[in-house]
């Protein structure tokens, strides 16, 4: 099991907390190493962009995608958007992505908001013993 810090724009985090967004999606034009490090049972710390960590969740199911084309992105939108809750601009921005991941969320729990010191632009961080922002008390 891995632990992850997931940065979300506020509207998407609010939808997760309200139970209206049950799948977290990430699509990229280049392959990111962390994509292959997400698995069922992993724990997520959900952080508002420029804000605090607001909730935890567990990954129930993961689907990975390689060598995507625009038509496949459109199909993913049709098939899963009721769970992803992406607006039209989100899908336009992702249309040229080649790699992606869908994570079904379970056990979403709000926590007392917790500010952490994170100064880079990564929107997803696989936590480690060295880099865990004080979020994981036990050894990883």
138, part of any domain: no
Count CA atoms within 13 Å of residue 24 on its CB side: 31
The boundaries of the domain holding residue 56 are: 3-126
What does the alpha-carbon distance between residue 140 and residue 119 come to, in Å, rounded to a whole number? Answer: 22
Helix, coil or strand: residue 2? coil
What's the number of domains the chain is made of?
A: 1
78, part of any domain: yes
| pLDDT tens digits along 44-77 | 999 999 999 999 999 999 999 999 999 999 999 9
pTM beyond 0.75: the answer is yes
134, part of any domain: no
63, part of any domain: yes
Q: What is the CATH classification number for the domain harbouring 94? A: 2.30.130.30
């Amino acid at each position: 099991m891995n632990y992850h810090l997931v940065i979300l724009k506020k509207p998407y985090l609010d939808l997760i907390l309200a139970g209206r967004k049950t799948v977290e999606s990430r699509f990229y034009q280049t392959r990111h190493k962390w994509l292959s490090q997400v698995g069922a049972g992993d724990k997520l710390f959900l952080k508002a962009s420029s804000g605090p960590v607001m909730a935890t969740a567990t990954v129930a199911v993961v689907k990975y995608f390689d060598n995507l084309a625009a038509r496949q992105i459109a199909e993913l939108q049709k098939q899963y958007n009721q769970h992803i809750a992406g607006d039209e601009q989100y899908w336009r921005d992702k249309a040229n992505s080649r790699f992606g991941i869908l994570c079904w969320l379970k056990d979403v729990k709000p926590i007392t908001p917790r500010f952490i010191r994170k100064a880079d632009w990564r929107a997803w961080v696989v936590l480690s013993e060295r880099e865990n922002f004080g979020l994981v008390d036990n050894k990883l």
